Structure 1
């Protein structure tokens, strides 16, 4: 049985208008233009009591870094986190709460790129920029000390980045965390249409439309957009979280099946009954439990590797 707060969140989600955004394709560009006028949020003031929060604008995008005021704990990973939003929407306050809460649990630092959005900037520019950032962090901290993570589209970006590194024979991060990952830009996974009436946030047609805007003319099954169709062998330890009321559970299930067929199943696979898209970020007991489990996974991987 899900918590009362989760049931209330389920009732409240339609009021946010996210489902309308992904369902009313004729108004998507109009709504994106309006979103661009809003100020990009940053971590709430309360986190300044626990972290040094810095913003570097020397790149083509802002990079926000969170560092515990007393310094990161020994062996705590450095989190490189890519936010979701269909590649077209900015980071949200909920992202910052989850990122800061996860770092607080671990005593860890984090780098959060406010990457350029589609359709203004597409995958052939964005993914190399994120690769350059990873290479910079890996050179400074050691690849094995980095945890790459992301939610929704950010989860797809995280997996695509790891595949890019593997293809070039570069050192991989120590771990990979995927929250409700969007791994197939074609939005054609089996079972999506049956789940869609229960999904309070997403619609397959809207996902595909966002994929087209991010693709910049590439086929939607290109692994840079749809890492589910790329090389999945030899990944670092991976944790996957999904919900049964999220159409993207289809992507998570296919990833689990493909990794299992390679003899490399996810180290953690958590599919929560009746949970909505990115429930791990929501202020509900189930979301807090997911962050607890993520922190335990990261401690196990990174502390073990450091010994």
Structure 2
């Protein structure tokens, strides 16, 4: 059963109109137009600099942040790809997870502020993400490499891992996907039953956001929707989803297809939880974050 605090959170999300952000194509286009007029900041909060060394470089047009524990050698490496339906920028909850990984798992976390749709499309985004992942793995250093993505970032992360496997066969130590969006057609028949109880997401808006990210590619192209790609040979997967997340069908399809392909999958489904619950300050969210920290520590150098 969901905690009382998480139930209250879902009610509050509905009350403040959060799900209207993706209510329909017009809402998404309005968000994109507003972002073009007034681009949102992807800068990390200043408080992060008090506990971590933060630097920024550019990979092509992408600002890429490198966040490392202050005063000690990192024990592991993380490539973290943020969510936001491909049209949303890095937010404070994303940076909070980065801070947790740096301080609790002693990880070096690389955070790309990738180009958002419609300027950033799958054919351009996935190769750059694969290059970043490859570089992080090849750089060596202490411990292993964990690839983490949430929502749209999980789709980019999984597509990048697939592309890297095709190039060289290399893989990170583990892939962690939080509320992943992996099929941008948003056409699974089970979503109709979940949608009324989802306090955040609506299919029409997601379809439009997915269309903008797909660009000239078809929705079932693996670069757009990695659920349709080959899953064999991928690193062990950990997946977090909630029963009130419209996209939980993607997680269940991934579980089935990955296990059929011989991939190890650790699956966490939290009752009554919405999309992105591991970022929320509720007991279920804290438990998910603790597990992500533990998984990162597990690949760390002794």
> TM-score under structure 2 normalisation?
0.93
| 1:78-115, Cα deviation, whole Å (9 max, x unpaired) | 11010001111111111111221133220111000000
| 1:120-174, Cα deviation, whole Å (9 max, x unpaired) | 2211111112222223223322698221110001001111011001111242111
CA distance in 2, matches of 1:270, 1:82: 20
Runs of 4+ more than 3 Å apart: 15-18
Alpha-carbon distance change, 23 to 144 in structure 1, aligned in 2, over 3 angstroms: same
Unaligned 5+ segments in structure 2 are: none
* Corresponding residue to 1:280 among 275, 278, 281: 278
Q: Give 1:106's aligned residue.
A: 105
Q: Is the 8 A contact 2:232 2:263 kept in 1?
A: yes
Give yes or no for the alignment of 1:26 onto 2:47.
Answer: no
Q: For 1:1-307, what aligned pairs fall within 5 Å after superposition?
A: 1-15=1-15, 17-36=17-36, 37-57=38-58, 59-73=60-74, 76-141=75-140, 145-266=144-265, 268-300=266-298, 302-303=299-300
CA distance in 2, matches of 1:142, 1:190: 45
Q: Which secondary structure does the structure 1 equivalent of 2:62 belong to?
A: coil
More displaced 10-residue stretch of structure 1: 142-151 or 92-101: 142-151
Alpha-carbon distance change, 235 to 204 in structure 1, aligned in 2, over 3 angstroms: same
Q: Is the 8 A contact 1:147 1:175 kept in 2?
A: yes
CA distance in 2, matches of 1:143, 1:13: 41
CA distance in 2, matches of 1:142, 1:171: 16
CA distance in 2, matches of 1:84, 1:271: 19
CA distance in 1, matches of 2:173, 2:116: 27
After superposition, the CA RMSD in angstroms is: 1.9
CA distance in 2, matches of 1:261, 1:180: 21
